[in-house]
């Protein structure tokens, strides 16, 4: 059973799509990841992107814990249907679910800049796809200064190739899962303003 761990809808169950390669982050790993993020003040009040979202467990957890706006992106219709049902059932405000490849989504003009991004693709996805996604995030003005990017992969995968401006902050192993967190260093990948020139907010 997959559920929201904590926050305004803590304990609520999530629908998980079957048969499309979706691999929800385990409750144990999600609890550890969010404990670390919250200790750094990196969740409440931020805008968050959940890329390769699957059922939306990571993004919905962020919304439950106070993220002010969340976008879930996945290219699988079954996953998007489940994520939309989850968001609707939980009644969390300002959660948007998008049916799109991550590459196509990041090629568009950002509606806002994110302070928190999750990348949790199927383990079969090539490491090069992760590197390209990280480069798109930094080069496409998707991040506010100090944004945190969380990458979850198989423990057999190599460390992501971090683009200029993203500095690895932590590495944690949980059995067959490894989680890296990186921080956008101020002055790289963003000029500190929003898409319309107004100050960006995370």
Give domain limits for the chain: 27-184
Structure confidence at residue 180 (pLDDT): 97
pTM over 0.75? The answer is yes
Segment among 2-6, 24-28, 38-42, 110-114 with least mean pLDDT: 24-28
Q: Over the stretch 124-173, which tens digit does the pLDDT of each residue have?
A: 899 999 999 999 999 888 999 999 999 999 998 889 999 999 999 999 99
Per-residue confidence band for 187, with pLDDT thresholds at 50, 70 and 90:
low
Please give the CATH topology (third level) of the domain spanning 27-184. Rossmann fold (3.40.50)
Structure confidence at residue 65 (pLDDT): 97
Neighbouring CB atoms inside 10 A of 169's CB total: 15
Q: Over the stretch 23-73, which tens digit does the pLDDT of each residue have?
A: 678 899 999 999 999 999 999 999 999 999 999 999 999 999 999 999 999
User: Which residues have a Cβ under 8 Å from the Cβ of 177 and sit 6 or more positions away?
Assistant: 25, 26, 29, 152, 153, 154, 155
Match 């991004």 to its residue by tokens.
117
């Amino acid at each position: 059973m997959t559920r929201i761990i904590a926050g305004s809808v803590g304990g609520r169950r999530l629908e998980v799509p079957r048969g499309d390669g979706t691999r929800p982050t385990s409750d144990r790993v999600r609890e550890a990841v969010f404990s670390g993020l919250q200790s750094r003040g990196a969740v409440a009040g931020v805008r968050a992107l959940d890329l390769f979202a699957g059922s939306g467990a990571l993004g919905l957890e962020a919304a439950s814990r106070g993220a002010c706006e969340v976008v879930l992106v996945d290219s699988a219709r079954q996953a998007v249907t489940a994520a939309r049902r989850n968001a609707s059932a939980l009644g969390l405000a300002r959660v948007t679910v998008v049916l799109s490849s991550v590459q196509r989504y990041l090629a568009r003009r950002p509606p806002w800049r994110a302070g928190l991004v999750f990348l949790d693709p199927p383990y079969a996805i090539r490491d090069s796809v992760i590197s390209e996604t990280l480069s798109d995030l930094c080069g496409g003005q998707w991040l506010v200064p100090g944004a945190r990017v969380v990458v979850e992969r198989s423990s057999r995968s190599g460390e992501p190739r971090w683009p200029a401006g993203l500095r690895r902050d932590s590495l944690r192993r949980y059995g067959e899962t490894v989680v890296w967190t990186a921080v956008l260093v101020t002055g790289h990948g963003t000029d500190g303003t929003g898409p319309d020139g107004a100050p960006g907010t995370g």
